Structure 1
């Protein structure tokens, strides 16, 4: 009973590994991908050994394997994936003798590499069988970008935060005498360290994510007894509008300045790429007749190109940080002030098919706003309601219920022909969203049959999963 009351909370901080530490961390990212491919290769081995697959060139076999497995009946496909649990680490190490550029082999990887990779692969298989239309069969991963980006997860039992709070011990670092890794801005936790993930971003920055098991969440959000409706849009004046008229605006000016810089840098990078292609073509033409051929430089050896790539990645990282700060602070303020929040279940993928608005919609990060607000409300035992996406909330008068069918996107304000009330489009939509959400809350609100916790994420679905004990309710 005491273990069930625990909660998981994450911390993400930046780390500063030295050159040797970076080499080993990059190797672990490489080993993680190689372990995934090795496990998947043994699972798909019966299919790969078929004569019709062996006749094909090596670069075309993987696609044909995927197509063959997708044509298999459900029971045969399930029997194929059952072989994952029978694969041993010895068989993996014996079959994969790859040596990384720094001299490490797969055996030198992180202690928990096999365990976490097998667990992740099993999750991917389970997701495929639960929802085949959304989750395809697991596929092989590429190691093409392993030196520029990637991540891997390890267990807390092989890691540890030092008492000074600025250094961390990772995996097999003591075995290879790599020392401690320095980190900054670590926010301590009283809970037990549960899981650790190391991430290498394209901007050449390293981060570490800690997951702690705590008795309760760090942030306390007291109950206020208030509720609100939220309307999301992509206008110049507002990005998030509440039913009381309060609006929040994404800092588009800063984002557009950075986007213009990215466009300029992309032009420079394309020129450097074309120059590299011409030089390679000239060297290969000379090597065709030369007795001692010259070295053909790769793109990773072009320092100017790599500097430009990192510069673009840093600009993208700045945009990401601006959006994340805005979304976190805005959602945190809403979660602090209200006990019930109502939103529309937007069809973002369908909205992006309108090419006139696709860029503005993707820039608005509607999904991230939804996910952030959902977990903040859930952690505080508050409720978030999602109404039907096809409800005419913008066209409906909040006072008399009249629906103005000819309302266009350009009409930001309008007068109701029935009751003559003047409406601001976004505020009126937020009010309609709130009213419809409160009616849905009365119908669908219930408690978990296993732990007794009230339902925090309200939708029109009668079947739901408790976010505390993962019990399924109907």
Structure 2
């Protein structure tokens, strides 16, 4: 209240007090996370941040007949709804976000009761890869669309244009051919901002397409299976390999695992993570014979112990399924899967 009376901060009166109060709550949460060791020291927001957001609690907006009106707004927002809100629920908060591409999104928080999915006896192990996003223990190969790879040439072309504009700005400051002095901000022209927004829009389309695909894949797997077993991949270490980093990030392994994990908890499914050091690719899923080595280029092999022929990825998925089911049984976490029997080599 006192800040609003300051002559230099009169502009605070133009903003709803609900959004300002919510910003203070976010600041308090940021400091709490910092002192608890969960986050870095909070920093001030900037108008140059790629993402801008404002949150409104229940007393800061009205939602009637599909029309959303925020506090201190004369007219409702022009919203294109992605899906209808659940019936007979009261929204508790609204967050309006603008991303780097200049797109606005509205997120509405509601309290709903999610019913568990019907129990099924089907279980699955998943081996993630690059040729295919994932291969399951029942021989399903999930496509890897490679969204970034398809638009990489366009992104690089616009990034070169942005780099030339940056060099021109440095030349106008007398810094041509020199490294950026510490603490010096290179200004962007209006045309440079336009190019940056174009790059951001391409990245946004890639991100949205990838997330849409991962949601469809994860939802299908959760609906069809009572238990899902995946490998505990060290993605943060794997992306340090410059030859694989872009392809791994484009596939979205970590995001797929996160989706499977929270959807499993939401719909009463079992989700188990298998130790990454298990020789899932080298071990025969029929007789447990383990090869000493198996080059990555070898996509199929014959077991010397029992003569079974294995596809590398399917065999790994089956071993993950067996290990995951053993972990679930040992921890008594097999809710609703007691009737499942997974013999060696089951498809």
Query: Where on the TM-score scale, by shorter chain, does this alignment land: which range?
Result: 0.7 to 0.9
CA contact (8 A) 2:27 2:42 kept: no
SS of the counterpart of 1:182?
Answer: coil
For 1:113-132, list aligned pairs within 5 A: 113-128=19-34, 130=36, 132=37
Residue 109 of structure 2: SS of its match in structure 1? Answer: strand
Distance change in 2, residues 1:113/1:188 (3 Å):
closer
In 2, Cα distance between equivalents of 1:336 and 1:346: 24
Query: Which secondary structure does the structure 2 equivalent of 1:391 belong to?
Result: coil
Show the 5 A alignment for 1:7-406: 90=2, 99=9, 105-128=11-34, 130=36, 132=37, 135-146=38-49, 149-163=51-65, 165=66, 167-173=67-73, 178-185=74-81, 186-190=83-87, 191-216=89-114, 221-234=117-130, 236=131, 238-252=132-146, 254-279=147-172, 281=174, 299-300=187-188, 302-406=189-293
Q: Contact 1:387–1:437 (CA<8 Å) still a contact in 2?
A: yes
Query: Aligned equivalents of 2:292 and 2:193: distance in 1?
Result: 54
Provide the aligned length of Structure 1 versus Structure 2.
325
1:143-196 Cα deviation digits (max 9, x unpaired)? 1514x5311222122112231x2x3111222xxxx4221101252222110221
Q: Distance in 1 between matches of 2:238 and 2:7?
A: 48
SS at match of 1:181: coil
Determine if contact 1:229/1:341 at 8 Å carries over to the other structure: yes
Residue 445 of structure 1 contacts residue 455 of structure 1 at CA under 8 Å; is this kept in 2? no
Q: Which runs of 5 or more residues in structure 2 are unaligned?
A: 176-185, 338-347
Does the aligned pair in 2 maintain the 1:229–1:243 contact within 8 Å? Answer: yes
TM-score of the two chains, using structure 1 as the length reference: 0.63
Structure 2 partner of 1:415: 302
Structure with the bigger RCO (C-alpha within 8 Å, sep 6+) is 2
TM-score (norm 2): 0.84
Give the unaligned 5+ runs of structure 1.
Answer: 1-88, 283-297, 448-453, 457-474
CA RMSD of aligned residues (A): 2.7
Q: Flag the 1:212–1:317 CA change in 2: closer, same or farther, 3 A.
A: same
Flag the structure with higher helix content: 1
| Secondary structure of the corresponding residue to residue 346 of structure 1 | coil
Contact 1:152 1:198 in 2 (8 A): yes
Q: Is the 8 A contact 2:117 2:268 kept in 1?
A: no
Q: Secondary structure at the match of 1:378?
A: helix
